[in-house]
Amino acid sequence: MLQAVTSLSQGVHRPDDRAVTSDLTVDESLLLHALGWEPVDLVFGVSVTAVQAGAWTWGRGQLQSPSDAHNLAVSTASSRLRQECAAVGGHGVVGVRAGVEIHPRHVDVALVGTAVRPIGSDRPPVQPFVSGLSARDFALLAAAGWSPIGLAFGASFVYAPRRDAATALRQSRQNVELTNPTQALYAAREAAMERMQASGLALGAQGVVGVQIAEGPMTFARHVIGFTARGTAVRLLAGEHRTITPDIVLPLNDAVVQFEAEALRGRR
Amino acid sequence: MTGPSDLPSGAEHRLEELRGGFFTSDLSVNEFLLVKEAGFHPLGFVMGSSIYHTGFQGRRWSKSQELTKLTEAMYNARELAMTRMEEEADELGADGVVGVRLDVNYYEWGSDAAEFIALGTAVKAEDGKSYRNRLGKPFTSDLSGQDFWTIMQTGHIPQGLVMGTCVYHIAHRGLGQALSSVGQNVELPNFTQALYEARELAMTRMQDEGTRLGATGIVGVRLEEKSHQWGSHTIEFLSIGTAVTKTGEVSLPKPTVIISLDN
């Protein structure tokens, strides 16, 4: 498989008459064309990185090995995505979907998106952008004078010590905060957010939008609290932000209000 | 763990970067642009959380009653999460927090323990005026960026996320009662009444919080009914919404009527 990746990234140059592959919807392709952009090809970036044996079991405090593995996997996958994009002549990748899986011994990252370029352009930039936002969002941002740059991400895994038996027994009938996991969650969150910010700043971004987080104990190591954060780093291209004044519309589609018995009980 | 001063080491550095103009936000692009259009700039993604152990309270099989200890726990834990989020926003010099989500997650932390988490995007007004609520704190609101823009256009300002909760135990029916209704279409008055009472308590408590903020109304109220992990006869009623005050005139243009070609 690696062979395929290498051969792709070394650039089989796309003849201009080849059919375009993209996972954009019809609306999104039309919108891109309206902006003067076109989809080029579907591109991928994949990386699997090893986590040190015993890292989850024996680690205390911040677990370095898993967060390094996460960091390396995401950055390798996204640079492969850029390489593929450059190889097909794209200026950037939009609508990147990320599959990130953390396993006891390895971290899997798979990124897939559609490479786009200004219509007819054959001179790709040195550093294509990568955006987790849809083509529609790309168009909206462009209208407001912003441009996506790359993915900003961070992860942290922190060991939370258990309560000792006497404390657990004493607290069994009380309303109390559990300080160990709370503190571990805070530490994990702080480190992950800081790493995400640092990766955004390293890209020269002014902000990160569409941040998604995942937090909680790891399924295979319950005493470890993980926090991962990921978003799209953006930069203001125009001199200043251009406000977009929305029109208020009232769609006259068929009524969509349906009676749902479950909704009455608040259990939708 | 009560305030930003208790944030782990490294937090200061992160907040410093955010004060320097770099922002993070979980708003979508639409929401980001609408918040900008409403005259606010996102400052940072803020969060408060607490992992909380709820105590135990005995219940009587045939008596409908509020379980005050559990109600207190739900209040206390949510309050901890919300306050911590507000403190972070305060630390950033924010005027408010939009798109607040308040979740309860159950993991295997041990029995009766749950994670309460509040997340949102801290924003600051670009015109330099203060939009803090009358307690001098940043306002909080669970309205989306779209709703936030719309509500601002109608001359309202969000004051705070208000909530009321009530954990209620609903009595089981006695054997006699169960037998007497076999094969009949009848209302089960004790169940109905218990549900009404619990809902009423939750709604009243939410309204009280609104009044304390000097709100003229509460919008986007949701009523959630959850059993969490207490079994079928113990239910938490949670009502939650955004308290708003009316300050200006409506500047919302008349909506254009469209027939969309989407299906």
Q: What is the pLDDT of residue A248?
A: 82
- Would you say residue A252 lies in a domain? no
User: B238, B203 in Cβ contact below 8 A?
Assistant: no
DSSP state of B3: S
Q: Which fold has domain B16-178+186-246?
A: Translation Initiation Factor IF3 (3.30.110)
Radius of gyration of chain A (CA): 23
CA-nearest residue to A179 within chain B is: B51
User: B28, B111 in Cβ contact below 8 A?
Assistant: no
- Would you say residue A2 lies in a domain? no
A44 burial class (0-12, 13-18, 19+ CB within 10 angstroms)?
Answer: middle
DSSP state of A240: S
pLDDT above 70 coverage of chain B, percent: 94
- Would you say residue A250 lies in a domain? no
Establish whether this prediction's ipTM goes over 0.85: no
Determine, for residues A211 and B113 on separate chains, whether the beta-carbon distance falls below 8 Å. Answer: no
Task: Report whether pLDDT(B12) > 50.
Answer: yes
Cβ neighbours for A251, distance < 8 A, ≥ 6 positions apart: B258, B259, B260
DSSP state of B6: G
Query: Which sign does the torsion angle of CA A233, A236, A242, A243 carry?
Result: positive
DSSP state of B240: E
Q: Give the count of Cβ contacts less than 8 A between chain A and B.
A: 170
Secondary structure element (H or E) that encloses residue A198, with its range: helix A179-202
Q: Which amino acid is at B9?
A: S
Furthest-apart CA atoms within chain B: distance in Å: 71
Those residues of chain A that have pLDDT short of 70 are 1-18, 253-268
- Would you say residue A123 lies in a domain? yes
Secondary structure element (H or E) that encloses residue B102, with its range: strand B96-105
Domain range enclosing A74: 19-163+176-241
CA distance A33 to A239: 24
Q: Which amino acid is at B220?
A: G
- CA-wise closest residue to A74 among A55, A92, A49, A50: A49
Q: What are phi and psi of A125, to 5 degrees?
A: -70, 165
Query: How confident is the model over B144-172, as pLDDT tens digits?
Result: 988 999 898 888 999 999 999 999 888 88
pTM for this model (two decimals): 0.83
When CB atoms are compared, the residue of B11, B18, B55 closest to A190 is: B11
Determine, for residues B27 and A209 on separate chains, whether the beta-carbon distance falls below 8 Å. Answer: yes
Confirm or reject contact between A254 and chain B (CB < 8 A).
Answer: no
DSSP state of A20: P
Give the domain CATH number at A31: 3.30.110.70
Query: How confident is the model over B64-75, as pLDDT tens digits?
Result: 888 888 899 889
Q: Which amino acid is at A2?
A: L
- Would you say residue A171 lies in a domain? no
> Which of B27, B33, B56, B57 to substitute to test the interface with A, most A CBs within 10 Å?
B33
DSSP state of B188: -
- Would you say residue A169 lies in a domain? no
Residue B4: band (very low, low, confident or very high) from pLDDT cuts 50, 70, 90: very low
CA distance A132 to A230: 9
- Would you say residue A1 lies in a domain? no
| Surface of A (189-218) touching B: CB under 8 A | 189-191, 193-194, 196-197, 200-201, 205-213, 215-217
Chain B residues touching A265 at Cβ < 8 A: 225
When CB atoms are compared, the residue of A190, A213, A251 closest to B258 is: A251
State the average pLDDT over residues B122-135.
89
What are the sequence ranges of the domains in chain B? 16-178+186-246
- Would you say residue A227 lies in a domain? yes
